[in-house]
Amino acid sequence: MKSSRRKFIAMAGFAALGWSVCPSLTRAATEAGPKLYFKEEGSLEASQWAMAIDTKKLDRQIMNKCIEACHTLHNVPDIDSDQNIKWIWIEPFRNLFYDQSHPNLKNKANQPFLTLCNHCDNPPCVRVCPTRATFRRPDGIVLMDFHRCIGCRFCMAGCPYGSRSFNFYDPRIYLENLSHEYPTRSKGVVEKCEFCAHRLDKGQMPACVEASEGALLFGDLNDSNSDVRKALRERYSLVRKPKLGTGPKVYYLI
Amino acid sequence: MYHSNKIIPGLVIFFLAMTFPFWFNIGSEAYSTPELVLPEDHEHCVEAVEFMRAEHMTMLNEWRDAYVRDGYGEYQSMLTGEMYAMSLTKTCMNCHNNKGDFCDRCHDSVSVDPYCWDCHIEPEGVE
Ligand code: SF4
Ligand code: SF4
């Protein structure tokens, strides 16, 4: 009797060991299998994407074209209330740069500028998101995974630039024509500009950059030959709220 | 047995209640696989039919993470070795371009209601 109880305990021990090892074995098996996922051919790559906005070239018409290009492509609804959704929008200079009052810039106070998500180096929105629905890709794009967003809005509270919008409604109610290039969102999800990550992966430039007639420049910040770096070498530039240490990657050429 | 006058009827009631779904459905029609409209101009799917039937939802979940989070855009078929864009609308719905005749028939008959279509746009000409 005694010896069989011992045997039983020993067997149970082995079985438990087996179960604890087995899951990692199955994973090892699939990882060793064929690789099924690949990057798209001709995708644009960078170690840190950045945008430079040439404020001298911006006028109302160009700004509206940029907004139109982005919002129609991404099915961003236009809701006539404070519950509107915006990925890229117009703000006067004094709202964007109230903390940077260079005397020579006083005359700019009312000039309208374009603004969007800054794709920060050190994004507070990413740090506070409990589900990792928003995350920073290795190429510096701060992306939303709409599938994971639970609508807690921590990221909206975290973002010091107001770059995020919340869907209080099903956006399709407000969209006359749907763009088949990009999904809509569902009610209860936070959204923002995603630097057109899906276009870069296909080898295309962001939609607003294409529509901007040269007023928006886009490229790799760490490549000294990129448009953005060239422009930053030659012109005086500002970023929003530099003191917060978020490291914005949208530069305003003054 | 003590209290057999209570225990035995109790067991009988318990047994009947447990097996209720079985005898309630005796004689009713067996589940039949719904008839699906398959795309005419395509010979095979991304993977084998049996695999797609059993695994398409798992596969779509994996595609979603690989595409959105890891930036992979292309999937190599284990069946043919061909490359496909990992896209619900551009790959799946390009062949199965009538959601009502394909996706919905099965989903309805097994009472599942995937929320993919809350955001992803089904091909035109449906609904
Ligand atoms: S601008 Fe706001 S939303 Fe965009 S990365 Fe920075 S903190 Fe996040
Ligand atoms: S980069 Fe793309 S998503 Fe961002 S504002 Fe421009 S068009 Fe919109």
Can you give the pLDDT at residue B125?
Answer: 47
Contact A135 B69 (CB under 8 A): yes
Instruction: Judge if ipTM > 0.90.
Output: no
Q: Which atom of ligand 1 is the closest one to the Cα of A142?
A: 5
Length of chain A: 254
Query: DSSP string of A174-229?
Result: G-SS--TTS----TT-EE---TTHHHHTTT---HHHHHTTTSEEEEETT-TTSHHH
DSSP secondary structure letters along B90-119: IIIHHHS--TTTTHHHHHHHTT---GGGGT
Distance A249 CA to ligand 1 centre (A): 10
> In a 10 Å sphere around its CB, with 0-12 CB exposed, 13-18 middle and 19+ buried, how is residue A21 labelled?
exposed
Give the integer Cα–Cα distance in Å for B106 and B33.
8
Q: Please identify every stretch of chain A with a pLDDT value under 70, giving residue numbers as ranges.
A: 1-2, 19, 21-34, 101
Looking at CA atoms only, how far is residue B41 from chain A in angstroms? Answer: 22
Smallest CA–CA distance from A145 into chain B, residue: B68
pTM of the predicted model as reported, rounded to 2 decimal places: 0.81
Q: Which residue in the block uniquely carries the two structure tokens 């509206």?
A: A64
The contact set of A with B (CB < 8 A) is: 34-41, 43, 135, 137, 143, 145-147, 170, 178, 180, 183-186, 197, 201-202
First vs last Cα of chain A: how many Å apart?
Answer: 89
Place of tokens 């928006």: A216
Q: A102-133 burial, b if ≥16 CB within 10 A, otherwise e?
A: eeebeeeeeebbbbbbbbbeebbbbebbeeeb
How far does the centroid of ligand 2 lie from the alpha carbon of residue A207, in Å? Answer: 6
Considering CB atoms only, which of A36, A170, A201 is closest to B75?
A: A36
- Which residues does a 6 A CB cutoff place in the pocket of ligand 1? A 117-120, 123-125, 142, 159, 161, 163-164, 192, 246
User: How far apart are alpha carbons A54 and A66 in whole angstroms?
Assistant: 13
Give bridge partners of residue A89 from the DSSP assignment.
A115
pLDDT of residue A42: 84
Using CA atoms in the order A184, A188, A194, A199, what is the torsion angle rounded to 10 degrees? -20
Q: What per-residue confidence (pLDDT) applies to A209?
A: 95
Alpha carbon A233 to chain centroid, angstroms: 25
Give the closest-approach CA distance of A36 to chain B in angstroms: 5
Strands B74-76 and A250-253: unpaired
Q: Do B74 and A147 touch (CB under 8 A)?
A: no
Ordered per-residue pLDDT tens for chain B, 127 residues: 788 899 999 999 999 999 999 888 888 777 788 888 888 888 889 999 999 999 999 999 999 999 999 989 899 988 888 899 999 888 998 889 888 889 999 999 889 999 999 999 887 744 4
Are residues B73 and A38, on separate chains, in Cβ contact within 8 Å?
yes
Can you spell out the DSSP letters for A78-146?
A: --SSTT---SEEEEEHHHHSTT---GGGGGGTT-EEEEE----SS-HHHHH-TT--EEE-TTS-EEE-T
User: How distant is the Cα of B81 from the closest Cα of chain A, in angstroms?
Assistant: 9
Compute CA distances A67 → A78, A98, A130, A245, whole Å.
Answer: 11, 23, 30, 28
The answer to whether B105 touches B48, Cβ cutoff 8 Å, is no
Contacts of B120 (CB under 8 A, 6+ apart): A183, B88, B89
Q: What is the pLDDT of residue B40?
A: 83
CA angle, corner B22, sides to B19 and B25, nearest 5?
A: 140
Q: What are the structural domains, with CATH classification, of chain A? A: 49-253 (3.30.70.20)
Cβ–ligand 2 distance for A238 under 6 Å, the answer: no
Residue B30 is predicted with a pLDDT of 77
**Closest residue, chain A, to B118 (C-alpha):** A186
Identity of the amino acid at A24: S
